Chain A
Amino acid sequence: MNEWRRSVPSDAAQLPVLTQFLQEFWSAASLPSAQAMSFELALEEIFMNVVMHSSSVTGAPHIEVSLVLAGGAVVLTIEDDGAEFDPLTLPQPNLEASLGERPIGGLGVFLVRQLMDTVSYQRLGATNRLRMSKHVERLREGTSQGATGPIAK
């Protein structure tokens, strides 16, 4: 399957567009829908972070999302042409704090790190790139479901 790309203006109202894009990719790749949520969440958290923190000298920045299957993993890439900003440097939340003490924000990037296998940030020229991946179990045709014996999958 080839790489899929979608570009949107940096605007919170675009989130449903990107969510639908992800869902279309997911079914086109015949992936189990139960595994999509980690990616939907990662997409939302990073996208909203970029929307809220990115700024651009030359008008509203654009955000490009791409999805591709690489070996047994799905790779999600979010790029924006705003000022240099690494969401991974945002402060970690305090998970031990009590109800009254818990700060409101900071959970987004933390959740992404927990749910994804690998996350990396790169500044490429005038672009911020956040790339993450997670291994997924593909629905394969022609393979026996419920194989017995030592043949593990």
Chain B
Amino acid sequence: MRASPAAAAAPEVQAEARAAAVQRGLQVHAPLHRASALRAAQSLRAIVRTQAQRLLRPDRLFGRAFENIILTLIIVSVASVILEEVHGLPEWAKRALHIEEIVVVCVFSFEYLLRLVAAEKIKAFVFSFQGVVDLIAIAPFYLAGVDARAVRALRLLRLLRVLKLQTHILENTVAARTRELADKNAALEQAQAQLKAELDIARALQIAILPATFPVKPGCDGAARMIPATTMGGDFYDFIELPDGRIGLVMADVSGKGVPAAFFMAVARTNLRDLAPQYLEPGACLAQTNAMLCAQNPMELFVTVFYCVFDTSTGTLRYANGGHNPPYVRRADGSVEALTGAGGLALGVMPGVNYPDHTVQLLPGDRLVLYTDGVTEAFNSADEPYGVERLLAEVKAHGDGGATALIERICRSVTVFADAAPQSDDITLTVLTWGAP
């Protein structure tokens, strides 16, 4: 700012000029801008209110100290009401009680005014329970000058200060409990979020260990899919490369849900996979896997397993069943047959179970469909199961289409059927078409 000759004048002159300007401004603004003056007054009131609220806050030092003083004075004044009625009280005692009364009323009046100012809505405070109680606590003093008998009566009203005590204690307790609850809730939510995150990782790992693609073998069009349920389950499929152009196909379902089932699934899969190259007869492989699982099964789980060894050069399929739903073969002419035959007990129940082997011959164009009961026992909201018929209908309708496309088709069909009902069990499918031209 360029210094003007006027600004270079003496400081006292400057101050005077400024004050006059302010006054002028107020005088100029008041009649023309009543609204802004009102706003100014309102914001002034807001500032004062905020300050009063801050003083009363129980989490601040002043607020707590003030509260304790009030509580002490309440007790003191109630005690004094009783003491006053004692006959033959010495003069000094009477005077002390009188002084105490004055002090108490002053402090209570100050508190009342403070609360009045701090209140968001003044009328609401005045007519609230606390407002009425606080007013009654100090009213007797101010009305003392009216009538001697009335004064005595009104003095007894001071006992109502006990009510004041109650509202204080109640307030404090409620505030403390609310804080406690809020803290506990926050801790719980955090723990839950952490648990969910870990379960999500576990489920991702569980899915990741399933083979993503079918081994490349001449004449084989194979695919598989596992759609996990809402709660972690224990379904799994597997493809195991074996010597001389053979593949081992596994379809399995672990009992139970959650972390134990997922764990057992991993153990069962690994055991079977390790034993398969050594025990090429499916029945023997299941028997050995069963022995291994029974040797260490602290959670007493079991797993139903269908295991077959498929010779990709001849089309011969050797299979054994440990309590699992029999798979289906759709022949090239469209007929469908189940791979039945005596099976053994689910694996993990007891050692020494026998799993008989069976053989079936696949011809070029035949298709093998393996599945778990998450498909056939998928329920809709009317509590109807998807069932085997619907599954086979999809298989038949698919005709000579590709394996992946059939899996997609079946999964879509199950999802549409189940509609809004939540998926309670893993849905697992494997399809193998052999000797496609």
Residues of chain A touching chain B, judged by Cβ–Cβ distance below 8 Å, are 3, 70-73, 75, 117-118, 120, 122, 131, 133, 135, 141-144, 149-153
In contact, A152 and B323 (Cβ under 8 angstroms)? no
Within 8 A of A (CB), among B340-386: 340, 343-346, 349-354, 384-385
Contact A152 B345 (CB under 8 A): no
B236 smallest CB distance to A (angstroms): 15
A31 to chain B, nearest CB (A): 15
- Contacts of B300 on A, CB cut-off 8 Å? 3
Interface centre among A71, A72, A131, A151 (most CB of B within 10 A): A71
Q: Is the CB of B349 within 8 A of A142?
A: no
Residues of B within 8 A of A71 (CB): 302, 304, 322-324, 345-346
Interface centre among B302, B304, B338, B346, by most chain A C-beta atoms within 10 angstroms, is B346
Whether B323 and A70, one on each chain, are in contact in the complex, defined by CB atoms closer than 8 angstroms, is yes
Q: Is the CB of B385 within 8 A of A142?
A: yes
Once A71-B324, A72-B323, A73-B345 are accepted as A-B contacts, the answer to whether A118 and B350 lie under 8 Å apart by CB is: yes
* A122 to B255 CA separation, bound complex (whole angstroms): 22
Given contacts A120-B352, A131-B349, contact A143 B304 (CB under 8 A): no
Q: Is B335 within 8 A of A150, CB to CB?
A: yes
A142 and B322 within 8 A (CB):
no
Contact call A149/B353, Cβ cutoff below 8 A: no
CA separation between A73 and B385, bound complex, in Å?
21
Is B351 a contact partner of A120 (Cβ separation < 8 A)?
yes
User: What separation, in Å, do the CA atoms of A144 and B385 have in the docked complex?
Assistant: 12
In this complex, the member of B300, B322, B323, B351 whose beta carbon has the largest number of chain A beta carbons within 10 angstroms is: B323
A152 vs B335: C-alpha distance when bound (angstroms) = 12
Chain B nearest CB, measured from A123 CB (Å) = 13
The 4 closest A-B pairs by CB, nearest first: A71-B323, A71-B304, A71-B346, A70-B346
**A150 near B337: Cβ-Cβ < 8 Å:** yes
Given A117-B345, A118-B353, decide whether A152 and B389 contact each other with a Cβ distance below 8 A: no
How many residues from B make CB contacts under 8 Å with A? 28
Contact B345 A118 (CB under 8 A): yes
Cα distance A118–B346 when bound, in Å?
11
Q: Which residues does chain B contribute within 8 Å of A144, judged by CB atoms? A: 389
Residues of A within 8 A of B350 (CB): 75, 118, 120, 122, 131, 133
- Bound: A143/B335 CA distance, A: 18
User: Would A151 and B392 count as touching, CB distance under 8 A?
Assistant: yes
Residues of B within 8 A of A3 (CB): 300
Kindly state whether residue B99 has any CB partner on chain A within 8 Å: no
* Residues of B close to A150: CB separation below 8 A: 335-337
Q: When chains A and B are docked, how far (Å) is the Cα of A143 from the Cα of B385?
A: 9
Beta-carbon nearest neighbor of A129 in chain B? B350
A70 touches B338 (CB 8 A): no
Inter-chain CA distance A149–B392, complex, in Å, is 13
Q: Are B338 and A152 in contact, CB atoms less than 8 angstroms apart?
A: yes
Let me know if A70 and B302 touch, CB within 8 A: yes
Of chain B, the residue at the smallest CB distance from A66 is B300
With A71-B304, A118-B350, A151-B392 given, name 4 new contacts (CB 8 A): A73-B323, A133-B350, A142-B385, A151-B338
